[in-house]
């Protein structure tokens, strides 16, 4: 079985004002995005080419919004809930530091919260997967 292109666990998934799960999973595998509950039941899924996602102005740094099959979901991706195995075979997917002295990436300290990197990885993985189709 192939390893997913992206997998994040411990994701809070909301639809409108309703929380669907506080410890769900977002997975991109074989050209499909799947939103799963903490028990592994599928909330929704669609081909990555049919999914719209981004980081709107009103969202926190660790949040993303994805429209799957016409339904809008707010995803809160926390770094501490991340699945350690799967994720980014092609690179960081997020912002990369210049390596200059004093650069936050080079010094090991980041200016943005860990969840912001995770949501950036999600958006980059979705873009990469949609580009392959």
Query: What is the domain partition of the chain in residue ranges?
Result: 6-92+111-132
Say what the pTM is: 0.74
Q: State the Cα–Cα distance between residues 92 and 88, nearest whole angstrom.
A: 6
> Which residue in 3, 4, 6 sits closest to 126, CA to CA?
6
Q: How high is the pLDDT of residue 39?
A: 95
Mean pLDDT of 27-38: 96
pLDDT band at 14 (very low <50, low <70, confident <90, very high): very high
Dist CA 82 CA 56 (whole Å): 22
pLDDT score recorded for residue 1: 61
Architecture in CATH of 6-92+111-132: Roll (2.30)
Does residue 56 surpass a pLDDT of 60?
yes
Q: What's the start-to-end Cα distance of the chain, in Å?
A: 20
- Per-residue pLDDT tens over the stretch 68-124: 999 999 999 987 654 444 444 444 333 333 333 444 444 455 566 666 788 999 999
Which range (38-42, 48-52, 111-115, 126-130) has the least confidence? 111-115
**Residue 40 CB coordination number (10 Å):** 8
């Amino acid at each position: 079985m192939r390893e997913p292109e992206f997998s994040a666990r411990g994701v809070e998934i909301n639809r409108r004002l309703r929380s669907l799960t506080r410890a769900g999973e977002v997975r991109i595998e074989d050209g499909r995005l799947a939103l799963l509950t903490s028990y592994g039941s599928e909330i929704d899924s669609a081909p990555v080419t049919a999914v719209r996602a981004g980081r709107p102005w009103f969202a926190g740094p660790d949040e993303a919004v994805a429209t799957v099959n016409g339904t809008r979901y707010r995803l809160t991706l926390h770094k501490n809930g991340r699945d350690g195995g799967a994720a980014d075979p092609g690179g960081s997917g997020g912002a990369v530091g210049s390596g200059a002295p004093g650069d936050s990436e080079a010094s090991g300290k980041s200016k943005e919260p860990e969840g912001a990197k995770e949501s950036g990885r999600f958006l980059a993985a979705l873009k990469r997967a949609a580009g392959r189709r």
